[in-house]
């Protein structure tokens, strides 16, 4: 980085399987107006699929600097795939898709091959694939420019990795993959977020539990902006 170029700062809320449409809209109306418009600040909310159209509408009407994403995508194009959410349908609402989250790998048998198919669908339909990995050995498809390092011991446990180790893992991805940005995820809160973002190789955070509370989420954004 140099020449006055600003590093992107990604703050991504992964609501997982939480929030009714009513709760989702309450969150948007609290958080949306409080996000500062800054070129390098990329705040993304990833609700459950059923909330996505209403969330997108609320963000558009409010003209909030908030991107909308999803937590998964179909590995196939639209067609005879019962229960799946295809990228070419979702593209009307979203800009990003979290792919290969460890909860999908553990609970739904998702493999690196399936993640690779989902990445192809995302890229083909102009959706940014954010691929989650648990360690530096997980295979990342070539087209991916955004990776989240999320060690499973840190997810939802209140026991985050150390910023130093997260930075090392992020660096190992940057050494291997050109132009990749790396996020850290796992028990991020308004208390510890700065320590991760202060590290050279970390470009943002992926937040589960702490993103559900709109006040806490705004505090996270505010503390990032002080860096
Ligand atoms: P957590 O979840 O913030 O609750 O640890 C992070 C994630 O799973 O993306």
Average pLDDT, the chain: 95
SS3 54: helix
Task: Give yes or no: 125 in active site.
Answer: no
pLDDT of res. 35: 97
| Cα–ligand 1 centroid distance for 104 (angstroms) | 13
Q: From 10, 183, 207, give the residue whose CB has the most ligand 1 atoms within 8 Å, as the site to mutate.
A: 207
- List, for the chain, all residue ranges whose pLDDT scores fall below the cut of 70: 1-5
pLDDT of res. 1: 42
pLDDT of res. 224: 87
Of 103, 110, 125, 150, the catalytic one is 150
Structure tokens at 211: 């993103």
Task: Give yes or no: 101 in active site.
Answer: yes
pLDDT of res. 19: 98
pLDDT of res. 7: 85
Question: Measuring CA to CA, which residue among 205, 193, 104, 87 is closest to residue 146?
Answer: 205
The per-residue pLDDT for range 204-224, each reduced to its tens digit, is 999 999 999 999 999 999 998
**CA 173, CA 76: separation in Å to the nearest integer?**
27
pLDDT of res. 2: 43
| Cα–ligand 1 centroid distance for 157 (angstroms) | 9
Residue having the nearest C-alpha atom to atom 6 of ligand 1:
208
pLDDT of res. 225: 83
Q: What is the largest CA-CA distance in the chain?
A: 50
């Amino acid at each position: 980085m140099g020449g006055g170029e600003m590093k992107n700062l990604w703050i991504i809320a992964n609501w997982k399987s939480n929030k009714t449409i009513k709760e989702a809209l309450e969150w948007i109306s609290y958080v949306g107006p409080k996000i500062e418009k800054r070129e390098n600040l990329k705040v993304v909310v990833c609700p459950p699929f059923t909330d996505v159209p209403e969330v997108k509408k609320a963000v558009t009407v409010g003209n909030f600097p908030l991107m909308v994403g999803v937590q998964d995508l179909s590995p196939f194009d639209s067609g005879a795939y019962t229960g799946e959410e295809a990228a070419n349908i979702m593209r009307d609402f979203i800009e990003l898709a979290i792919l290969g989250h460890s909860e999908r790998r553990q609970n739904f048998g998702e493999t690196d091959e399936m993640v690779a198919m989902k990445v192809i669908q995302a890229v083909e339909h102009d959706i940014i694939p954010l691929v989650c990995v648990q360690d530096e050995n997980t295979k990342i498809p070539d087209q991916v420019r955004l990776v989240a390092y999320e060690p499973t011991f840190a997810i939802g446990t209140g026991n985050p990795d150390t910023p130093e180790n997260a930075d090392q893992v992020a660096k190992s991805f940057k050494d291997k993959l050109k132009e990749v940005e790396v996020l850290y995820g796992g028990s991020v809160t308004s208390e510890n977020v700065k320590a991760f973002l202060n590290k050279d190789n970390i470009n943002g955070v992926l937040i589960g539990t702490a993103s559900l509370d709109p006040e806490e989420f705004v505090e996270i954004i505010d503390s990032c902006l002080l860096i």
